[in-house]
Amino acid sequence: MSEVDRPRELEDLDLHRALVEGIPAILYIDKPDEYSTNFYTSPQAVDLLGFTQEEWGSTPELWLQQIHPDDVQRVIEENRRTNQTSDRFLSEYRMIAKDGRVVWLRDEAVLVRDEDGEPLHWRGIMLDITNEKEAEEKLRWSLEVLRRTSQQRRELMERLENAQEQERRRIASDIHDDSIQVMSAVDMRLQTLALEGGANAASLLELHGIVQDAIERLRHLLFQLRPFSLDQEGLAVALRQFLEHTAARTGLSWMLDADGLLEEPAPDLRAVIYRIAQEAVMNVRKHAAASEMDVTVATAGTGVILRVRDDGKGFDPLALTRATPGHLGLATTIERAEIAGGWARVHSSPGSGTTLECWLPMEQAEESQPVP
């Protein structure tokens, strides 16, 4: 038969076959029964799964037999449900190929009805999504490794922070109980000798001033290390004493608002908040050229929020990304807050002062963080 005499129907059939077999997916037609008994499966199934068209058509239960054991019950339930409701079938599952390979498939089908609305068959398509699933699994594994590494880093930093606080507490106690007590006794003796008069009275008064200055420096060091009031009287009292001490040395005007602190934080959290406030105030002293600052500490949701605002010269917050040695305070503060499970933000612009705001959770639970 010449090409001219070839029926148009055969040409249409060849065109349809070429179209179906050229698609990089498996096309199929199944009965609307519990096995999805196969009417037709395109030849791509041989390359992908290793089963011939004849095997698909002669073995009604082949499809269910080859679904991965961990997925089969879920797919059976979805198949049963869509047979009952006539909804579109859509599922992702694994199949065991004839050679034992595991292939991920995205299976989607629609129900075709006759003129009377009765179900005829399912017409569907299976796409090989193995590469995508393997990529997802690798990404999931990488994220899990990253999460564990981040958690381990956080735990390590918390232990380091706790060790530092314990060492600060020990050194502060030694200074208070030993050095300051001895220096105070010497100072009292110098005052007594100076009051008694004599040729060396002026020198004794001078020594008295030097010793008093040394005692003041030691007390300042106590504030830097670990104020006793932080453990004995609470966060608000410790912050107030620190601000008073700072103002006495610098002349800065200050205000503390702690009325919103409804619950005293746990000792470890209390220390972190105090350190962040201390770091922020030190930054104001060193870099802001400010005349006043306001400190607010309050309960916020399931945590505590701290704000330190100054009226200084301000700066471009982008400078935090290129901090230089000696100017790492704010970057360190942000990291300290994140290690504690919270967040810290810096709001500033040249000529408009700076506000440091941070939130720390009462409990170590990242999901409790409010969105800043």
The C-alpha atoms of residue 353 and residue 314 are separated, in whole angstroms, by 4
Tell me the domain boundaries of the chain.
Answer: 8-128, 151-226, 233-372
pLDDT of the residue at 78: 94
Within 10 angstroms of residue 13's Cβ, the number of other Cβ atoms is 11
* CA–CA distance, 135 with 126 (Å, rounded to integer): 19
> Are the C-beta atoms of 29 and 121 separated by less than 8 Å?
yes
pLDDT at 122: 92
pLDDT for residue 174: 60
Could you tell me the two tokens for 263? Answer: 């619950």
* pLDDT at res. 4: 45
- CATH superfamily for 8-128 is PAS domain (3.30.450.20)
Mean pLDDT of successive 10-residue segments in the chain (372 residues)? 46 56 82 87 90 88 92 94 93 94 95 89 92 90 82 69 67 64 71 67 72 72 72 90 86 92 89 89 87 93 94 81 55 80 89 92 56 40
Question: What are the pLDDT digits (tens) for 31-51?
Answer: 988 888 888 888 889 989 999
As given in the structure block, the two tokens for residue 109 are 């089908």
DSSP 95-106: EE-TTS-EEEEE
The CATH architecture to which 233-372 belongs is 2-Layer Sandwich (3.30)
Q: Is 223 helix (H, G, I), strand (E, B) or coil?
A: helix
